[in-house]
Every structure is written in structure tokens, then in C-alpha cells.
Structure 1
């Protein structure tokens, strides 16, 4: 990434303001020694703004950047002396959104250990599998998961919230921690919507490039107040945490997402930005807007597609502040849609940010034409390093396969869904996401999922699962007629099934395997 662009972006976002020379020097020295890992970002923030509030928990607990760094260093020393955690080990973190998760992840990285972010929605059996496959030495967990971890291998040490605080309080004085012999990695577990989760090794940034790619398009500024509602164990929530540390932001966290409580916190904490997943915006739209409205300048979402009409409706209520990032655990980011993009094309995934390459290729690896559907390949500085199992994804000319299908139209990317979600019905290619987006625009529909199911005559057919708003009614045939009016006949769902709610994982993605159980 070219230096003038980096400098201009950092200056525009307030990160190159001179400040106090001694603190600026300490900040740069922290980055030089510790790099751009989460541990390095916390150190640079504490060096530059030690007294600034780093984290505000929902119960009013606050920690400054210096206090947060002190706690993580004490925890790291105790993890090393009590449990023998060293560089190259793996520490699992099974926590909801609160300061304890942040402390555990940073403490592991201070020692050069890998931090494995464990999805809070995993079953006991899945947790046991993850612990064994990732060879965890230690699991830091919230007390609420005590029963769920009973089946873990006996050699995995367990530390709950009370024990974590005791480790911090009882840490013996010791030598100042030094940069480890190898950087600890972040291992994010794939969401597991179709089976057991896989561990994906995330790279450590090697400079300002990744940060600049994001903040050039999403206008965050130094010392903003940011609420991260997206789960921190998810790629998007963790990315938000990395960006927030880099910006020396004040971070507001709630353990669980509640729309009314979130809106109240956005107002009470005067939040400049909100990081969320799309289903959270749907829930925010279902409760009355507070008066006064939150002073939001940025609402950034990622993790799944924006349902039809949601982008426009949200901006009509809260202003043109919405930014939608399309990416994945494996490729980090591919494109970003800003408010103007979403006004023009609400279902667009936007445009690649600076330093990102994007290509739509056919099965032979050749570029397809404008408007034609193909496989989405992405290249940037933060492509994942592979799965912990040793597997990876297909690469072509330095670009990584996202596993999604999409098309480019006028420079904007449109995502048609997962490649393995596309069905062939009567010889025609059908994309469930297109039908979902259309049905979601019906005023009676609260949420919808469309999947492919076996069909004796056509090979496959579409099934639509609809959850309606309270008090609303709808029959299957009007839904089919509505789709038939806008789309080809082979896109009309043969099955229209009404449910109370859609099964979702902790990051808001629909669990399609649960829906397929309707068919045995």
C-alpha cells in the first residue's frame, strides 16, 4: 500500500495528530517491539492514552487503557507460572462480550500463545471436539458454561471468571514481559452452520495497511466511542476490537444483545459507532427509536447478507450512516458498501477497498463478463493462513476463493449466495438468496430463509421458511404469486412453510441443517 495514501488516511482519521512527543515515542516503540497483534495494539494505546477509558461493561465497570494492560500482564504471568502456558501453546476463550474475554485473548498473545475464540453456541460435544482438535492447554470461560465443558479432555485446565480475577489479583511481581519468541495467532472457529466448526488461523497485520483499508471507507476516528454488539468470538466482532484498539476508542460491551438495552446504551454512552450483524439491525427496527436518537456517525455490519429493504429502512430512521462489509473468516474483507451505495442498490456488497483485488471467475479460472455470475475470489493483506487441520481454500493468481457466487455490475459487487447453496431445478440454476431478498420485502414477514430440498421430478426445488411479525397472517399461495410476478417460474418456492422463528447460531446465521430436518 502506497505511503502517501496511508499517511493521508491516518491524518484524516486523527491518528497522526502529534500529541505529547514522549507519549507518541512510547506508542511507536510499543508497535516496534510488539507488532500489530491485539497485544501490540493494546500496548500502543496504553502508551499514547493511558488514562482514556478502554472498556465500559454493561454493569458500569470501566477500565482505562493502562488498567486493562496491567490486568492482562498480570493474567499472562499467572497463566505462565500456574499452568505453564508458553509460546506455541493454545488457549481457548469461551466468553461473551465483556472485558474478561479481551483480557484472556491479550494475555495469551503476550506469551506468544494462540488464542482460540470459541463460539458460545457450540454444544458440549462440539466443545470437546474443539478442545481435542486444537490441543488446548487452557480454557478461560464464563461461569454460565460450567456444565457444558464437563466433557473436555482431563488435561485441559479450566479458568472461570472468578478464577481469572484471582489469577490477576494474585499475580506475583516479576520481570517485565518481553515480546515472545513467536507471535501468537488468533484462531477463529468457522460458524458451523452445516457441521462441526473448523479452526482458521488469522494472520497478524504487519503494518497500518489493513487498518487503513477499513477506515478509508468506514469513517471511524481516533478516540471515538464504539459499541461492539457483534460477538467478539466472531471474525467481525474481533475485527471491530482490533480497529477500536488501533483508534484508541472507548469500547462499550454487553454480554448479550438486547435491542432496547443497546439503543439505551448508544444514547447513554454517546456512541459514535456501532458494530453489529444484520439480524441485530432487524431487531433494532422492531423497537421504538429512542428520543433523543443515538448520535451515531457509523453503523458497520457484516457476517451475513442484508435482508431486502433493511438498509433503506434503517437509514430512513437513523440517517445515512450504514456501512456493509462483505467478507469471511478466510478472506477478512472483500468489499464495503457505503450509504450512497446502499441507497442506490440496497442489496449491493459495495466495492473493494484500497489494496484489495476482486475477481469473478468461472470454474476454469477465467474472468466472466460484466453482470455474469461466477465464483468470487479475493486478494488482500489479511488472507487467512489455512485451517488448523492443514486444509486450505483454492487460490488463483494470489486470490482466495470465498466459496460464494456473485457478479459485478457498474463496479458494485452483488453476492448471490454460497456456491453450495445454488440448486439446479429442472435444469435451471436457482439462487435461494435472490428469492429470500424478495420475500423479505413483504411487510408481514419478519424473517425468511430459502433452501434447496430434494425433488423427485425436478431434482431439487425451493422451500421457503417464513416467520411473520406478531399479529400478521399470510397464506402460501399469495407468497408464490408474489415471487412469480418478479422472478422466473423456476424461482418460485414450491414449499412455503410458516415457523415461529428461524434457528440461528450466535452470530445470527440461519442454521439451514435445522430447516432441512423438516424433510427427514
Structure 2
């Protein structure tokens, strides 16, 4: 009840508005359509989204969703059809996603780094009847049937023969739509760091228990302003958008991340929350010191982070510079959340993934499925109220003891905090010793002259495998391979010291911050 009160679900509103919100929830059940329309019923005149097109209220957003739902129906979209969406963070993306759900169709959320061949193959594999893309991605959509393309964000010079989300909706009725014969579904494509992305079906919550778990761990409040910098096509950005609909916030969205602009947005809108991936935190820490000094971000109570590993002491450096606000979410598209680390956890135990939230079971198991003692390393397994619907190819994740295998390895400390060593398949056996790249990455990223680093295992005739580091040196600094090895020797075990180091101008990362390892250059033998 305390959590429900904090997020504003018990906030007094006129009876007719409360009734309207209740009708939407009863009609649609927990999910995006009920969230948008309930917010419009409760606080119609409040700003829903502030983006580069300006401001749109909840009432206006609800009406636009209904109009575009009618446009989709007019184009022949039926329950069960698939529609691909390749877009950045803006209102037209939100309108499209919610409208597709209202039709009862499947939303295929594509990574903005999708290649031309990936988009064409995924659209064909998932049988997409319509492809909604921002104008900037038209080159990527060249191999897609042009008659199926609808523009999300369109500039003034957009091709005249292509319809837009806003153009198709213009002039249509904003009347509410009946519940479709089947429930809409969201397919989020995994990162694809090593191959073609897999489509993961995310089931919407059946009740309010997942919201209680989420808001019990991250202290969002009702009707606050939230800057969502993390991409909405990714499960972390979408989760924060979807769950916070119940709090009726104002979302600040921008199509591209700029650390200094984010700081200005927080100041201008007195934002209480910021949703990011760890790479964004790193870039905010590295932003122009003058901008940081003159920008007031004291309103920031929550910096919600997820999407990739939170390396080294980044959380504490961020909090020292801004506010004690970091809540790091460890999970995945398939698992939902596993653990969440708040500011106190990160201060007391830097590098921890945190503790399991409400109604979440996490166990560390050995290869035979037996739970290992506290402090010992094993494979992390989880169970929670965020159901995974399986991959679109019919496969699913492995389970043991009724819990989903995350594919990560880690251990619990004496305080019940989880620490993640890395991916199970990332483990390197060097001279008979088991070592995970994450340990060396966390050590090297603390070097004052290193701005970015990733570590992998490479074959070695003598030791079988050794660790190799790809390092990005800060501007104005210089390092040698010997310097990197010498720094590591004082901080990691002998077998974790990098045998090889390659210096790059930048690491090939996707929008969520994960390194695309397939794009790393190979070391010469």
C-alpha cells in the first residue's frame, strides 16, 4: 500500500476521472493501451511527452493513438499481424507501438543499428505486413517492399510518396476502439552482438505484482518528470516507459543521446528520474566540466541504469559528481529483472548487481543444478512475475529447479548481494585457471588514461587461451602495451593480466552500450 500511495495510484482525483481510468484498466488489463488511456482519463491536460516536436498532453496522446489505430485498421492490419518498428525515441514511436497493441497485432521492435540485410531478413522471417521507420533509416529499408513502409519521424524533405504516422492519423476519428479478439504482443530483438538478433516475446503482466516489485526497488513517485535517454526499442527503456504509465509522469525524449543536453534537460524540467544505459553514465561523467559545474541537477532522485555491465567504480564516480541516485538493474530481455542495486548497495559494495526485489527468486547453481554455498561461483538462475514468452523461432531458455538460466556466472556475498563475473560462455581457461574478462575490464577502466575497454579471450599455444584487451585511450594521453600490463599486474591475478593489448579509436558498441564483439579486429598470430 505504501508503494501504491507513493506512485500516485491513490492520489485524489474527481470521481468521473477515476471511473474513466478504471474502465480502461478493466477493458484492456495491465499494459500500454490501458496505461495511456487511464493517464488521459486521470490527468488529461498534463504534458505526456516533451520531445523535439514540442509538447503533447495525455489527452492529445490518447486521441492520436486512437486515430492511428483506425489508420492501421483502414490499411487492413488485423489481430495477429506483425508490424516492424525501427525508430528512435519520440512521440510517433509511442503512438505506433500503442496503436499496434490496440489492434491486437505484434510489435517487432528493431535495434536502430540493424543493417539493411538484417531488416529485410527479420521483416521476412517475422512476416511483417508493415514497416514503420524513421526517415533516417530509409537507406536501411531499401530491400523492404516500399508499399509497406510508413515513416515515423519525418523531416521537411521526406519523400512525398511515403505516408507518415501523423499523416495517416490526421482527420480520423479519435473514438475509442473495442478490445481486439487477441492480445497485442511485443517482440524485442536481442542485442545480436554475435549474430542475427533473436526475437524475444515479452508477455505483458497479468496483474499489478510486477509493478509493486519494480516500484518497491526503485522509488519512482507519481506525476514526476522522467528523462528517458535509454532507447525505447530496448527492454530497459520500454520497461521504464510502460511501468511508469501508472504514475502518470511527463516523459522527456530525444532522438539522440548527448550527455550535455541530458544534463540541461534535467535542469530545465526539474526531472526527478533519468533512464540510461551505463555507457551514457560514463559519457556524462566525461562531459565538459564547465557544463557540469553550471548545470543544476539536484532534482535528480533516480538514475535508473541497465542494459550492460556497470563497470568498475562508475556508479560512485557518477554519484560523486551528480547525485546519490543510481539504481542499477541487472537482468535481460528474456529474464526481466534479476537483482537491483540501489545507491547504498553501490556505495558499500562497488560492482555489486544488488539484491532480488519483491517476489523474485535468485539462485546460484552448479552444473548439476544444485545450489552452491554463499561465496562460491555458479550459474545464476531466476524466477519472477515477468513471464518470458519464448523466442519467435520456437526455442526458449534453459531452466533448472524451476528457474530460468540467465547464462551469467556469479556469486552472493555474506550480505546477500549478487556479484556477476560474466557470461558463462565468456569464461577463459588460461593455463588451467578459470578467468572471466569482467575482472580485468573493471580494473583497467579505472586507469586514468583509459576511457573505454573490453577484454576477450584469444587462443594461445602455450596456455590454451589468454586474455586480450582492446583499449581506448583518453584524448591527450598515451599508453603502451607494457603500461597496460604493468597496471593490471598490481590489480588482478597473474593469469588475468592481458597477454595482448590493441589500441582503438573507439569500441564498436550498440545503442545499449554492449560491445559488438564480432566487429572487433583480430590479433595477429
| Shared fold, TM over 0.5 | yes
CA distance in 2 between counterparts of 1:174 and 1:465 reads 53
1:167-194 deviation digits (Å, cap 9, x = unpaired): 01042x4864111111111100001111
Matched, 1:87 2:108: no
Matched, 1:320 2:324: yes
CA distance in 2 between counterparts of 1:52 and 1:209 reads 27
* Residue of structure 2 equivalent to 1:298: 302
* Residue of structure 2 equivalent to 1:31: 25
Task: Describe the shift of the 1:355–1:519 C-alpha distance in structure 2 as closer, same or farther (beyond 3 A).
Answer: farther
Matched, 1:65 2:66: no
Of the three residues 363, 370, 374, the one matched with 2:367 is 363
Structure 1 runs of 4+ off > 3 angstroms? 153-162, 173-176, 516-520
* Residue of structure 2 equivalent to 1:242: 242
* Residue of structure 1 equivalent to 2:411: 407
Q: Check whether the contact 1:97–1:254 (CA below 8 A) recurs between aligned residues.
A: yes
User: Shift of residue 113 of structure 1?
Assistant: 0.6
CA distance in 1 between counterparts of 2:225 and 2:113 reads 28
CA distance in 2 between counterparts of 1:498 and 1:74 reads 52
Q: Check whether the contact 2:63–2:174 (CA below 8 A) recurs between aligned residues.
A: no
* Residue of structure 2 equivalent to 1:118: 110
- Residues 115-514 of structure 1: pairs in structure 2 closer than 5 A: 115-153=107-145, 156-162=148-154, 163-171=164-172, 173=173, 176-287=176-287, 288=289, 289-294=292-297, 295-410=299-414, 411-514=416-519
**TM-score (normalizing by structure 1):** 0.96
CA distance in 2 between counterparts of 1:235 and 1:215 reads 17
* Residue of structure 2 equivalent to 1:107: 99
* Residue of structure 1 equivalent to 2:46: 52
1:400-452 deviation digits (Å, cap 9, x = unpaired): 11111111112000011111111111111110001100111111110110001
Task: Describe the shift of the 1:85–1:518 C-alpha distance in structure 2 as closer, same or farther (beyond 3 A).
Answer: farther
Q: Check whether the contact 1:453–1:516 (CA below 8 A) recurs between aligned residues.
A: no
User: Shift of residue 330 of structure 1?
Assistant: 0.3
- Aligned residue-pair number: 511
Local SS of the residue matching 1:343: helix
CA distance in 2 between counterparts of 1:474 and 1:309 reads 21
CA distance in 2 between counterparts of 1:18 and 1:399 reads 40
CA distance in 2 between counterparts of 1:191 and 1:270 reads 32
Q: CA RMSD in A?
A: 1.5
Q: Check whether the contact 1:90–1:136 (CA below 8 A) recurs between aligned residues.
A: yes
User: Shift of residue 156 of structure 1?
Assistant: 4.0
Task: Describe the shift of the 1:175–1:436 C-alpha distance in structure 2 as closer, same or farther (beyond 3 A).
Answer: closer
CA distance in 1 between counterparts of 2:147 and 2:385 reads 37
Q: Which runs of 5+ in 2 are unaligned?
A: 155-163
1:448-495 deviation digits (Å, cap 9, x = unpaired): 100011112222111001111111112222321222222221111100
CA distance in 2 between counterparts of 1:450 and 1:465 reads 6
Matched, 1:40 2:34: yes
User: Shift of residue 516 of structure 1?
Assistant: 4.8
Which moves more between the two structures, 394-403 or 330-339? 394-403
User: Shift of residue 292 of structure 1?
Assistant: 4.0
Q: Which runs of 5+ in 1 are unaligned?
A: 1-6
Q: Check whether the contact 2:87–2:152 (CA below 8 A) recurs between aligned residues.
A: no
Local SS of the residue matching 1:24: helix
**TM-score (normalizing by structure 2):** 0.95
User: Shift of residue 157 of structure 1?
Assistant: 4.4
CA distance in 1 between counterparts of 2:359 and 2:93 reads 31
Q: Check whether the contact 2:229–2:253 (CA below 8 A) recurs between aligned residues.
A: yes
Local SS of the residue matching 1:359: strand
